[in-house]
Structure 1
């Protein structure tokens, strides 16, 4: 793969979590979250992107979200459950993405707010269609995702380097 070929990143927030008496890391999905995760998976499949790599937080709710969403994709990408995604800032997530091997073209990152939304906003130097306006208006509710593209190598990913091409959030 050459550096000139565009790369794509999907930033996917976990679906709605329940609030049982467990640690934040161990919170499971709520019933609505399980439904929204599957719907989000179908919407991800509709993008036609073949993901090479999934970086998923180790939190229970992100792992459950990914398990339900990936079931809807035509092909399962290599999945890495990454502790550094949990409670990560946008800068920490950029540093993690900068470590992505050059042969990887399409990455999906399954994480948490405020990091995921902040990262989408920071990376988006431009936008296509009404995706930026919809993301700004809706924010980044549970199970939402943003699709960004950029040119270059992963180690060159930095603020403003990407274009927000799609945004999706479940209806409320």
Structure 2
């Protein structure tokens, strides 16, 4: 059994229309969301043997802000393949993991992370939380899957069960969508 946690980068800043997508930083709401999720993850007591992340600025800043809340720093493996990756690319990356970590945290982007959940978790009712992802997998969302594999090389479609999902708005309603009357 392996554990894979996914953490979508927090809300990014779109104020500079000239900025490359890769270079967009977090906005203030994103920084608050990353810290809130970092506190939540810390409070769950979850630990990770490996942390791999997209090197895009908004993902790196999500790691930085959430680490402040965890009150520790992590050795992060930056992998550009995570940036805008498809689910298939993310599965390939997982299959290549060395050192046999029991638990991995991946910080990245949609639609890849969301599609990874859809590919790994069967749509057969065995993971009721899958419906939450079908509704939306917003920025700064944290999800945990248990994979029914002994080796990362065996990761395949349908091998997982979604056991936890937490959205920023679940922690603080002001971190959710802005409702307009």
Q: Pick from 129, 142, 156: which aligns with 1:158? A: 156
Mean Cα deviation higher: 47-56 or 105-114: 47-56
Q: 1:9 is matched with which residue?
A: 4
Mean Cα deviation higher: 143-152 or 91-100: 143-152
Q: CA RMSD in A?
A: 1.8
Alpha-carbon distance in 2 for matches of 1:146, 1:127: 17
Q: Is the 8 A contact 2:53 2:79 kept in 1?
A: yes
Matched, 1:141 2:138: yes
2:116 match: secondary structure = helix
Inter-CA distance 42–128: structure 2 relative to 1 (3 Å threshold): farther
Larger Rg: 2
Q: 2:19 is matched with which residue?
A: 22
Alpha-carbon distance in 2 for matches of 1:38, 1:128: 31
Q: Is the 8 A contact 1:128 1:166 kept in 2?
A: no
Matched residue count: 166
Alpha-carbon distance in 2 for matches of 1:129, 1:40: 22
Offset, 1:74: 6.2
Alpha-carbon distance in 1 for matches of 2:158, 2:96: 18
Alpha-carbon distance in 1 for matches of 2:71, 2:161: 25
Matched, 1:37 2:34: yes
Structure 1: where are the runs of 5+ without partners? Answer: 1-5
Q: Is the 8 A contact 1:51 1:77 kept in 2?
A: no
Structure 2: where are the runs of 5+ without partners? Answer: 170-175, 177-181
Alpha-carbon distance in 2 for matches of 1:59, 1:157: 25
Alpha-carbon distance in 2 for matches of 1:129, 1:88: 24
When normalised by structure 1's length, the TM-score is: 0.89
Alpha-carbon distance in 2 for matches of 1:88, 1:168: 22
1:72 match: secondary structure = helix
